[in-house]
Amino acid sequence: MHLPYLSLITFLPIVGMIIVLALPKEQGKTMKITTLLITGIQVVLAVFLLSNYNYSLGGIYDQASFQFVEKFRWIDIENFSWIGRIKVDYFLGIDGISTPLVLLTAIVTFIATLSSWNINKSLKGYFALFLLLDTGMMGVFVSLDFFLFYIFWELMLLPMYFLIGIWGGPRREYAAIKFFLYTLLGSIFILIVMIGLYFSTTEPMADGTKAFTFNLLAMMDPNNATATGILSALNPANLRFAAYIALFAGFAIKIPMFPFHTWLPDAHVEAPTPISVILAGVLLKMGTYGILRVSFPIFPEITKQLVWYIALFGMINIIYGAFCAMAQRDFKKLIAYSSVSHMGYVLLGMAALNTMGISGAILQMFNHGTITAMLFLIVGVIYDRAHTREIDGFGGLAVQMPVYTGFVTVAFFAAIGLPGLSGFISEAFVFLGAFGVRLIRVVTIVSTLGIVLGAGYMLWTLQRVYLGKLNEKWSGLKDLNFREYAMFIPLSAIVIFLGVYPSAMLDLMNTSVNSMVQFMQNIQVYYSSINVF
Amino acid sequence: MTTYDIIFYLFALVTLLSAFFVVTNRNIVHSAFYLLFTFFGVAGIYVMLGADFVAVVQLIVYVGGILILLLFGVMLTNKITNVDIKSGTIHALPASIVLGLFAGALAAAVLNTKWKIVASPETSSSTVSLGNMLINEYALIFELLGIVLLIALIGAASMARR
Amino acid sequence: MNINNFISDLAFIKPELVISATLVIIVLFDLIFSSKKKLLPYISLIGIVVAGYFVINQFGTAVTTFKTSLKYGMVVVDNFSSYFKIVVLLASFIVVIFSMLSSEVNSNEERHGEYYTLLFGMILGMFLMSSASDLILIYLSIELLSLSSYVLAGFVKNTIRNSEASLKYVIYGGVSSGIMLFGISLVYGLTGSTNLYEINTLIQVQNFPYITFLIAGLFILVGFGFKISAAPFHFWTPDVYEGAPIPITAYLSVASKAAGFAVLIRFIKITFVGSTDSSGYWILLNIIDWKSIIVLLSILTMTLGNFAALWQDNLKRMLAYSSIAHAGYMLLGLAVMSNAGINAIMVYFIVYALMNLGAFFVVMVISNKIGSENIDDYRGLGRRMPFLGIIFAIFLVSLVGLPPTAGFIAKVMLFIALIDARMVAVAVIALLNTVVSLYYYIRVLKNMYLVDVEKEKPIIPIKLANGIVMILLAAPILIFGIYFSPIIDFAKNSITILGF
Amino acid sequence: MTENLMINIAVIILFLPFLGFVVTLLLGSKIKKIYYFENFVLFLGLAGSIIIAFGKLTSFDATTITSEFTWINLGNTPIMGEIKINLGILIDNISTLMMVVVMLISFLVHIFSIEYMRGDPRYNRYFAYLGLFTFSMSGIVLTHNILMMYIFWELVGVSSYLLIGFWFEKKSAADAGKKAFIVNRIGDIGMFIGILILFTTYHTFTFDDIFQQISQGHLPFDSGFWLTITGLLIFAGAIGKSAQVPLHVWLPDAMEGPTPVSALIHAATMVAAGVYLVVRIFGILTADAMLIIAVIGALSAFIPATIALTQNDIKKVLAYSTVSQLGYMIMALGVGAFKFAFFHLITHAFFKACLFLGSGSVIHAMHHEQDIRNMGGLRKKMPITYYTFLIASVAISGVPLTSGFLSKDGILAGSYAFANLTGHYLFPIVGFFVAMLTAFYMFRLIILTFHGEPRDKEKYEHAHESKFTMAMPLVVLSVLSIFFWYTPNPVNPEDGWVLSDWIKAPQLYTPENTRYEFMVPDEHTNVQPGSEEIMYSETYVEAMHAIHIPAMILSLLIAGLGILLAYLFYQWKRIDVGKLVEKFKGLYNFSFNKWYFDEAYDATAVNGTLGLSRLLGRFDLKIIDGIVNGTAYITKGFSTFIGKFDNVVVDGLVNFMAYLSGFIGLVFRRFQTGKVQTYLVFVLVSVVILLFIFKSF
Amino acid sequence: MIHAGLTHFLVISVALFSLGIYGVITRKNAVMVLMGIELILNSANINFIAFARFGNFGLQGQIIALFIIVLAAAEAAIALAIVLNIYKNLSNINVDEMDSLKD
């Protein structure tokens, strides 16, 4: 029996939160250091998990091949005669799909903590909420019980609302409530489907009886479907299609997928830098992660039917986001829309449903997490100094801040998928995977426009802000300080390392992705055999 | 038409007419007096239904108690010298329309229902049986009414005292 | 039945007897020791605890007593009624503590005797409501509850809004109970009985004229709807809640609603349900389509409550609408017409009692401090009262129904029941309503935290007692949010309704 | 020399410039003289590449040396089967020759830049970028698979972006860098889709594996048509990188970069990468693809040549000339003159680099004056520059005894032979005409710059011959423009070692029915299994032989005519240029304004894109974010209380929902009048309504 | 004319009920509103007694009527106390003017 590493990594921030809350108000510095320590330990734990990770185990649908599993009965109410037995498991585990994201969360949170150093308003509240948010994010990626997953999923909303709403920009109230309402709307759809699935899945108990379950893995196994469950394929009048749409919409809002994306620019623009970093770096991934972890394996037959639409929305995201980004005058809004565009690649890759596509999608999640974190930090650095984000107000900053501009160049080129940096390989994999599927080939070809559009808006921005003649107004700006180095160097290192040696990440997820693809294929055969299509 | 009927229609007429004036007369004091006739009429109807004890209680409680209370209310809330105590009405028209519908539906339903009618022997005075029931089957309610009255007493006193 | 039976039957209503006795003790104590009014709340608390002891002792019995015929009585003692009595007592206990801390109540110290007497009058009414199985007793207990609450709503009698609230309440309540009584009389006319069990047996064997029965049913529903403030019978709620003293508002919103639900559930379950199938679904007798009526009412109620709450600037009023909305959610549990649905309502009530009382308590503490319930005056309060702000946030989040608070569990249980019954569309409407509700709850937090105030004002200290009460209310919300087996278990075991 | 050793050296020389880049970049701000390290590294690179070339050409003449490692291994995947992505190095004659050219020119440019860039605030950074560029270019040359080609392809794009925009303080420079990168990317999309098709079909990126499968008849989507499309898509990458029409617009703008950079990137190496790419995939081009390639090449040869006639910026003239020459090469590939195309690539690299460096020398001397109308008479001041420039110009004009004559003549002959066999006479006509134009504008340039009287006296006074570090590369390059490096026979290159031994035409892998007839071996062809010779039909070989002499004479005449015209116009002034310009004002303007390409692009593509993005941005704000904002406005007209609304309302779909919710809330509020009797009316009405709803069960 | 039967009594009660509600809704004066409520209660009482009489349900109807009379008295007492309180505060008992609590 190993230590409960996953619980540790998930609930460590809660401990930190309690410490922060217990500290007296004046001890701002201590709070910062506490948070930094906690998130630092998280990174160490994540690396530890990574180093003890067994690359040959697949996970996905098979509990035996999940790793660091912690499972025990959390809620168990027996003899609930009319429903049977209500039980919820505390079930954590990671596989190749979640491990990269756990790592990402740890890293991005750590970096965000560093970038929180400039916050000086009600530190106590800030760091307490920050750490709570951390727990929520980590929890989503490690939980394998739908109920638990949902609790963590919702747990993030409130801290996020306050973090945007209290420490944000001028229109923060509006942005915060918009974020909150939008994402809550998304999650209620998830809730409904969750309950529907609960009633459609039974799991054999130790005593031989069968009980309804929230276990995600059990839901994936069609043998566990009940005969009359509302979302059971065996029930001729099932609502699986509608449920899939609802579930997908719930996750799509988080991604955010066109046309549910309008919360994102507002939230990003108003959020303080570290929160933007987390929002873009981690939160957006939850949507796509949810689709991969929940929608796809539980509804493989409907996924198959809707692949074209998923890819289409991916394409719209890529191109629409890029166009919108190009039209922005606000630096941060531009980056926000670039996230919309980049998340489109993830959707496209997932729609491919083959190894390369899904690997590319997961890799793109990770890479986008690091790259976009850098981009928001870049905006943050400039905003800290100049207190404006109007792109046209800048110019020639490269002369004034050469090192900073160096990192900017790395981040920007990574964002437009330059080979040698991490963004390239994930985009390439997405395209290679998606192009291999006949159905979505045309969509893929149109999507490649994103490559050039991305280069367009990124380089245009680079030029307007950093190149050209230095605006005299900014001749007093200082280059990066030590703390900012500490934020940029690790991220750049990851970006470059994964650009050169993507196998580090791909090997990690490969077995899982393969088993997922295999699983989806097998199960589609199963579903077609019971003639539900 | 029997005497029974004549008396019935008489009481019915008194009840309904006076009730009509209660709710329409602009003078509050007049209304209160019309209410007296209504209560009388209702008591008469009780008698016609063989509920003599209830009729008596009706007279004692309603006329002797409630009506007096209401008159007190009228007097206390108006200057006593003011002979012409008027009270207006509001939204009479919408109320009439709604009530027309309401009462119409109610009356139609009530009239079209086949009620359970069993020919029953004329009962003699029911007072004794009522008393028995009060301390047997309905003892609980009887006791509770005591508490209700206590509450009403305390509540009213609490509200009304200076 | 004779008087001896009556005395033996009294053994089954020990809690009610305790309440009545406490009531009398309070009256007498107030008369005799008029200078020691400070002790009244403690007497009340003792009475509540003792009554609670007897209620818990009763757990497990299932009898019908105070028989009016050979088989059935007016009072039913079963786990279901005990459960609601516990909810009522819980709320009463908290409200008594509220009252001790409320400046509104304390401003009328010379009338504390009446205050607590009437409070016990309400408790007694609610106890009988949860146990009543006879229409006459139902009517009587509702009246008992109402009469006490009319006065309490206007307790601070020299303020205009208190008086207005109580006047509106009494007129509205009088008419509603009058209509209900008329309905009862029609039922009596149709069946010749006022006992719910007997009526049920009659419905099973005879055909009754549908329209008349429907009218009677709807008339009776007016009375129940008035008590649980379900739309479209809710109109009194915002006005009275806003006008009444905060402890009373809180009490009305929780306890009186609980009792109303108890009696409504029992009325429908005993009277109109023929049998319960193996998965806990009720098979309605073919007389009135209660299911559709309740679904309609619940959707209307929650939608109205939530949407109207969007515009409220007065916190009490907002919470009034919110309580209407919650009544709508709970009605959904009834609309499912299954044991699971009732279970959900019961879980919901415990949670609702905690969170709603908590929210009102916070509003009261703030109102004591700053003398306002207006949302605009809450600006920056989060920084001035940091502890209170956090606690308030917990209550509000729980009212929205977000994890990890108990409010979420309550909602989940409700939706579990709904979806098991294939009422997906209704569930979606309810969930969309939840999203709407977020807006106005969060608006409070927005004003407390997000809005910048021009000038930082000093921190307002909170009394220790207030702090303890808040923690005691908030802690279970978080604990049950994470580990909710106990409440569900408790509700599950309490669901036995004597009868079919 | 063993294969392993060669591979090792190749890897080392590939990464040496990268090492130089990293070291110079990181230490640039600390150590002033770090650029020497970069130069030293380049010297090693040059030496290494010569060693490899020597070893390859002497010891392993006919074999191809490859070495690969698995970069990404996805193992045996469920749907796609075995997926392994290998990266590796390919050493054949072509790549070794190319390596030498790249390293040599890069080294010379480094040397040249030491003086040219002295005093620049980002001096070390400049060398670092040069190192990055050299690394990327070497990668393109040495790769054995198309994915790695694409990777380095993009890296070349970035390093050129950095170098073109090196003086980013100048807006035009920053613009030019951006333009270069984006225009290149447009081409790259095509290439990328081509790669997608190849990978989807063959599940590998390695050239050799792909070629083998094609030769076994396994075609993309099982059709020759798609093979054509694939070839053309990949060629699209070359269109971008080699600045072919219609994506040539970036190259003239790229002259904003430092002149040595222009010499390195825009003359010799980066733009040659496109041609190199086509050379690499030549074996899978079908006849249709080749025809289109030839057409694009011809257009690219012709249009810029006409533009170059009227340009006054010394570097722009050279830039258009570059495009034109690259068009030549592409056209040559399109008509099947593979060997001459690659040969021209090499010779052109040397003399064009020489020309650019020469112009750099002039510009340096004239204190960054680039307008030839302000020059003149520099011959006396800068003799070394003049003579090297002259030699290079003669070479580019195709005068005998120069390398340019050898390669160009071959191309013209090839196109002529092609025309004879297929009837496409346009290609030789364009070829000869462009040859004349080339000679004309090159001599126009020389005459205006170096001959005559100085037109800007002041600058002329300050002009001086460049220092040794700048002059030496000029000399080296000009010497390399003379024939004897390539062949002992100044009139027939085929006799030389370059064409007869070093450059081997690749095997064709395309199905025979998709080839030109003359590229299908017939019974006369000497078929040798395993031979690398292109298996042309005998007719083609005969045609080539027949055409050789006439073509040579014709090209000689034509070049002479061009030079003569230039002298008539500008040296002896027998023909008044001004009058001619007046007479053909339309044509002149057309040429002077570069056929209005930029304007057309601005008007269509750039503005279209920006406009579309603005439109979408607005769409996002107005429409998506407020589908019902509009509805809300209508609602406003109806209800009096919506004004209250308006304060709360902003935009957005969410906001619309807020609108709607608020509206519903307001409707509900209306019932809450505060009058208890009204409430009772509502209750009664509700009861009646409920009654009517449920009146039948 | 037929013998006065159940329906006759029911008609009276329905009429009385409607008049009572009419009174409650339309009268401004709070005391008048209370009078309306009394009418409603009376109408229910008539129902109970009439049903018991004609349906032969025994004396239960009369008992209920008795209870209701007592409750009516209690309610009237409390309601009047509240009205008096209002009068003390506002010197006015017009129900339609009591609308300070509203949305």
Q: Is residue A403 assigned to a domain?
A: yes
List the single residue in D with minimal CA-CA distance to E29: D677
- Residue B120: its pLDDT value, please? 64
List the single residue in B with minimal CA-CA distance to D679: B95
The nearest CA of chain D is from the CA of E59 a distance in Å of: 31
Q: Which residues pair with C273 in a beta bridge?
A: C284
- Residue D30: its pLDDT value, please? 80
List the single residue in C with minimal CA-CA distance to D658: C436
pLDDT band at D77 (very low <50, low <70, confident <90, very high): confident
Return contacts of D2-11, CB within 8 angstroms, 24+ apart: D3/D60, D3/D65, D3/D67, D5/D55, D6/D52, D6/D55, D6/D56, D6/D60, D6/D65, D6/D91, D7/D65, D7/D67, D7/D89, D7/D91, D9/D48, D9/D51, D9/D52, D10/D48, D10/D52, D10/D89, D10/D91, D10/D99, D10/D142, D11/D89
The nearest CA of chain D is from the CA of C428 a distance in Å of: 16
Chain E residues in contact with D688 by the CB 8 A cut-off are none
Chain C residues in contact with E47 by the CB 8 A cut-off are 182, 185-186, 188-189
pLDDT tens-digit map of C347-362: 999 999 999 999 999 9
Q: Which residues pair with D89 in a beta bridge?
A: D67, D143
pLDDT band at B159 (very low <50, low <70, confident <90, very high): confident
Q: Which residue has the higher pLDDT, C295 or A328?
A: C295
The range of the structural domain enclosing residue A451 comes to: 306-500
Probe site for chain C from E89, E92, E95, E102 (most C CB atoms < 10 A)? E89
Please give the mean pLDDT across all residues of chain D. Answer: 81
Distance CA D504, CA D499 (A): 8
pLDDT tens-digit map of D486-505: 877 777 777 777 777 777 77
Q: Which residue has the higher pLDDT, D585 or C258?
A: C258
Residue D49 has pLDDT above 80, yes or no: yes
Q: Average of pLDDT values for D455-476?
A: 80
- Residue D383: its pLDDT value, please? 86
Q: Are E21 and D684 inside 8 Å of each other by CB? A: yes
Q: Which residue has the higher pLDDT, D377 or E31?
A: E31
Q: Which residues contact C34 (CB under 8 A, 6 or more apart)?
A: C113
The nearest CA of chain B is from the CA of C410 a distance in Å of: 35
Choose among D685, E10, C184, C223: nearest CA to B101.
D685
> Quick one: CA dihedral B79, B82, B87, B88, positive or negative?
negative
Chain D residues in contact with B99 by the CB 8 A cut-off are 684
Look at chain E and report how many structural domains it folds into. 1
List, run by run, the mean pLDDT of 10-residue segments along chain A (533 residues): 85 93 88 93 93 88 88 82 76 92 95 90 90 94 93 91 89 87 89 91 81 89 84 83 93 87 85 93 93 92 91 90 79 90 94 92 95 94 88 84 90 91 92 91 91 84 85 83 91 93 91 91 78 48
Vertex A409, ends A404 and A413: CA angle to 5°? Answer: 155
Choose among C131, C117, C133, C7: nearest CA to C69.
C133
- Residue D230: its pLDDT value, please? 92
Which CATH number do you get for residue E74? Answer: 1.10.287.3510
Distance CA A232, CA A247 (A): 15
- A89-103, C361-375, D184-198, D517-531: the lowest-pLDDT one: D517-531
Tell me which residue in B106, B116, B154 faces C117 most closely, judged by beta carbons.
B154
- Residue E55: its pLDDT value, please? 85
Probe site for chain E from D677, D678, D681, D686 (most E CB atoms < 10 A)? D677
The verdict on C165 touching E (C-beta cutoff 8 Å) is yes
Tell me which residue in D677, D678, D688 faces B102 most closely, judged by beta carbons.
D688
Length of chain D: 697
Chain E residues in contact with D670 by the CB 8 A cut-off are 103
Chain E residues in contact with B151 by the CB 8 A cut-off are 74
- Residue D652: its pLDDT value, please? 53
D87 three-class SS: strand
Q: Are A83 and C420 inside 8 Å of each other by CB? A: yes
Q: Is residue C300 assigned to a domain?
A: yes
Q: Is residue A372 assigned to a domain?
A: yes
- A291-295, A420-424, B113-117, E63-67: the lowest-pLDDT one: B113-117
Residue D531 has pLDDT above 90, yes or no: no
pLDDT band at D52 (very low <50, low <70, confident <90, very high): confident
- Residue D29: its pLDDT value, please? 78
Q: Which residues contact D7 (CB under 8 A, 6 or more apart)?
A: D65, D67, D89, D91
Choose among D443, C307, C481: nearest CA to A88.
C481
List the single residue in D with minimal CA-CA distance to E97: D675
The verdict on C298 touching E (C-beta cutoff 8 Å) is no
List the single residue in B with minimal CA-CA distance to D690: B102
The verdict on C1 touching E (C-beta cutoff 8 Å) is no
Residue E1 has pLDDT above 50, yes or no: no
Which pTM was predicted?
0.90
The verdict on C178 touching E (C-beta cutoff 8 Å) is yes
The nearest CA of chain C is from the CA of B103 a distance in Å of: 11
Chain A residues in contact with D69 by the CB 8 A cut-off are none
The range of the structural domain enclosing residue E62 comes to: 6-102
Q: Is residue C360 assigned to a domain?
A: yes
Q: Average of pLDDT values for D641-666?
A: 55
Q: Is residue C293 assigned to a domain?
A: yes
Q: Is residue E1 assigned to a domain?
A: no
Q: Are B95 and E49 inside 8 Å of each other by CB? A: no
Between helix A355-386 and helix A422-435 the angle, nearest 10°, is 140
Q: Are C232 and D682 inside 8 Å of each other by CB? A: yes
Tell me which residue in C168, C235, C439 faces D671 most closely, judged by beta carbons.
C235
- Residue D596: its pLDDT value, please? 67
Chain C residues in contact with A83 by the CB 8 A cut-off are 279-280, 340, 416, 420
The verdict on C121 touching E (C-beta cutoff 8 Å) is no
The nearest CA of chain C is from the CA of B148 a distance in Å of: 6
pLDDT band at D339 (very low <50, low <70, confident <90, very high): confident
Are E82 and E20 in contact, with CB atoms under 8 Å apart? no
- Residue B84: its pLDDT value, please? 56
Give, as one character, the DSSP assignment of residue D81: E
Chain B residues in contact with D688 by the CB 8 A cut-off are 98, 101-102, 105
- Residue A307: its pLDDT value, please? 92
Q: Which residues of D touch C (CB under 8 A)?
A: 658, 661-662, 664-666, 668-669, 671-672, 674, 676-677, 679-680, 682-683, 686-687, 690-691, 693-697
Chain D residues in contact with E21 by the CB 8 A cut-off are 680, 684
Q: Are A262 and D168 inside 8 Å of each other by CB? A: no
Chains with 3 or more CB pairs under 8 A to chain A: C, D
Tell me which residue in D72, D181, D192 faces A455 most closely, judged by beta carbons.
D181
Chains with 3 or more CB pairs under 8 A to chain B: C, D, E
pLDDT tens-digit map of C415-451: 989 988 888 899 999 999 998 899 899 989 988 888 8
The conformational region for residue C271 under phi > 0 = left, psi -120 to 50 = alpha, else beta, is: alpha
Q: Are E21 and D669 inside 8 Å of each other by CB? A: no
The range of the structural domain enclosing residue C333 comes to: 289-500
Look at chain C and report how many structural domains it folds into. 1
A23 three-class SS: coil
Q: How many CA atoms lie within 13 A of C480 on its CB side?
A: 30
Q: Looking at mean pLDDT, say which of A104-113, B105-114, C109-118 comes out highest.
A: A104-113
Tokens standing for B47?
């008698």
Q: Which residues of E touch C (CB under 8 A)?
A: 13, 17, 20-21, 24, 30, 33-34, 36-37, 40-41, 43-44, 47-48, 50-52, 55, 57, 60-61, 64, 67-68, 71, 74-75, 78-79, 81-83, 85-86, 88-90, 95, 98, 100-103
List the single residue in C with minimal CA-CA distance to A155: C403
Tell me which residue in C74, C192, C209 faces B113 most closely, judged by beta carbons.
C209
Probe site for chain B from D679, D682, D685, D693 (most B CB atoms < 10 A)? D685
Residue D674 has pLDDT above 50, yes or no: yes
Chain D residues in contact with B96 by the CB 8 A cut-off are none
Q: Average of pLDDT values for C252-264?
A: 94
The verdict on E47 touching B (C-beta cutoff 8 Å) is no
Q: Is residue C471 assigned to a domain?
A: yes
Q: What value of ipTM does the predicted structure carry?
A: 0.92
Chain E residues in contact with C312 by the CB 8 A cut-off are 103
Say whether the B–A interface has 3 or more Cβ pairs within 8 Å: no
Chain D residues in contact with B98 by the CB 8 A cut-off are 681, 684-685, 688
